[in-house]
Amino acid sequence: MSDITEILIRAERLHQLEKAEIVALLANRVDDAELFGVADRIRQRYVGDEVHLRGLIEFSNICKQNCLYCGLRRDNQDIKRYRLEPEAVIELAAKAKSYGYKTVVLQSGEDVYYTVERLQTVIYGIKDLGLALTLSLGEKTREEYRAYREAGADRYLLRIETTDRQVYDQLHPGMSLANRLRCLRDLRDLGYEVGTGIMVGLPGQSQESLAEDILFFKAIDADMIGLGPFIPNPATPLRAAAGGTFELALKVMAITRLLLPDSNIPATTAMETLNKQGRTIALQSGANVVMPNVTEGEYRQLYMLYPGKICINDTPAHCRQCIGGKIAAINRTIAQHAGFRSGKNLGQL
């Protein structure tokens, strides 16, 4: 029996790994199929064969932050900016419901136009539709998070991107890892289902730091973990960076499933940008969520976090039909409920 097999047997039984064991799994290039198979078994055992669809509404590409990797960064002058008014966001949510979505995800840059009052209007309107609501709006104050929660928001997704402080500081001018952690603590304290995640393949990122990231997800008992490869954007300072790979991102996702057996883990769009079957492969390697885009028109093209983003010329109806076919093709079913995580234990930040 190989060392890798022994590590995987232990992980499947205990959902615990040491940092050195995670590094060994990341470094291994022989038994990846075994890793993905174990992750898929754990997924099936703990969260079943249902795939949860979350309808993604990208309602503003305006951002006050200047993160080096992001196409929405403040200093990018090569992008046409937009924002949708509250009524338009609620209308898109209503259309998402008509396509069968049980959850919508509101995502934007950190756009100061959206005051607490405007966002409360949107939240109230969406909750009146009977939908679960995830917000992904970046760093806010505790009071702002409280206001969104009191208006009815259920989940909040705030990716840590990396727990390596040196890498974080290099990539996020004017920001701090300490404040990011504060945000995640506040979200947990306020009763949200808390989502986080990373980009795999950032400049300066090591296998050891990726292992630390995975252990961080475990330490906070994250309810959702979004993982994808870093794809360099030509309109950013990291345009010449090597970028991440589909294979490594998939391994990080699978190892994350070993340690967090009942968390919600998306098969991300960025994975399919690098591999035409990326989301299907991810669903067979530990993922149980897909987030199709329900934004309409030119806005799908203008929310350009990275180049080559899939489905930007499709309609929301086509995306829903397409992903439904892919899910059926691997003998999985689309969940008919909002897919809240059950039995979670609050972790420590």
Q: What's the pLDDT tens digit per position in 141-181?
A: 999 999 999 999 999 999 999 999 999 999 999 999 999 99
Query: Does position 79 have pLDDT exceeding 70, yes or no?
Result: yes
pLDDT digits (tens, 9 = 90+) for 249-281: 999 999 999 999 999 999 999 999 999 999 999
Picking from 349, 36, 25, the residue whose alpha carbon sits closest to that of residue 182 is 349
Q: What is the pLDDT of residue 30?
A: 82
Query: Does position 349 have pLDDT exceeding 70, yes or no?
Result: no
Q: Consult the annotation and say whether 239 binds a ligand.
A: no
Mean pLDDT, range 3-9, rounded to an integer: 96
Q: Which two structure tokens, joined as six digits, stand for 73?
A: 């960064």
Query: Does position 108 have pLDDT exceeding 70, yes or no?
Result: yes
Residues pairing with 228 in the sheet: 199
Picking from 214, 303, 203, the residue whose alpha carbon sits closest to that of residue 243 is 203
Query: Does position 116 have pLDDT exceeding 80, yes or no?
Result: yes
Residues listed for the chain: 349
Picking from 88, 128, 124, 63, the residue whose alpha carbon sits closest to that of residue 294 is 88
Q: What is the pLDDT of residue 346?
A: 43
**How wide is the angle at C-alpha 264 spanned by C-alphas 6 and 342, nearest 5°?**
100
Q: Consult the annotation and say whether 176 binds a ligand.
A: no
* Percent share of the chain, pLDDT over 70: 98
pLDDT-derived band at 344 (thresholds 50, 70, 90) equals low
Residue 204's region, left for phi above 0, alpha for psi from -120 to 50, else beta, is left
Q: Consult the annotation and say whether 161 binds a ligand.
A: yes
pLDDT-derived band at 345 (thresholds 50, 70, 90) equals very low
Q: Is the dihedral of CA 133, 137, 141, 147 positive or negative?
A: negative
Mean pLDDT, range 86-105, rounded to an integer: 98
pTM of the model: 0.96
Q: Consult the annotation and say whether 180 binds a ligand.
A: yes
CA distance 18 to 84: 45
Mean pLDDT, range 20-47, rounded to an integer: 95
Q: What is the pLDDT of residue 347?
A: 46
pLDDT digits (tens, 9 = 90+) for 210-251: 999 999 999 999 999 999 999 999 999 999 999 999 999 999
3-state helix/strand/coil string of the chain: CCHHHHHHHHHHHHCCCCHHHHHHHHHCCCCHHHHHHHHHHHHHHHHCCEEEEEEEEEEECCCCCCCCCCCCCCCCCCCCCCECCHHHHHHHHHHHHHCCCCEEEEEECCCCCCCHHHHHHHHHHHHCCCCEEEEECCCCCHHHHHHHHHHCCCEEECCCECCCHHHHHHHCCCCCHHHHHHHHHHHHHCCCEEEEEEEECCCCCCHHHHHHHHHHHHHHCCCEEEEEECCCCCCCCCCCCCCCCHHHHHHHHHHHHHHCCCCECECCHHHHHHCCCHHHHHHCCCCCEECCECCCCCHHHHCCCCCCCCCCCCCHHHHHHHHHHHHHHCCCEECCCCCCCCCCCCCCC
Q: Consult the annotation and say whether 70 binds a ligand.
A: yes
- Surface-to-core class of residue 197, CB atoms within 10 Å of its CB (0-12 exposed, 13-18 middle, 19+ buried): buried
Q: What is the pLDDT of residue 29?
A: 85
Contact yes or no for 134/104 (Cβ under 8 A): yes
Mean pLDDT, range 131-144, rounded to an integer: 98
Mean pLDDT, range 16-28, rounded to an integer: 97
Q: What is the pLDDT of residue 2?
A: 87
Fold topology of 37-334: TIM Barrel (3.20.20)
Give residue limits of the domains in the chain.
37-334
HSE-CB at 59 with a 13 A cutoff on CA atoms is: 28
Mean pLDDT, range 307-335, rounded to an integer: 94
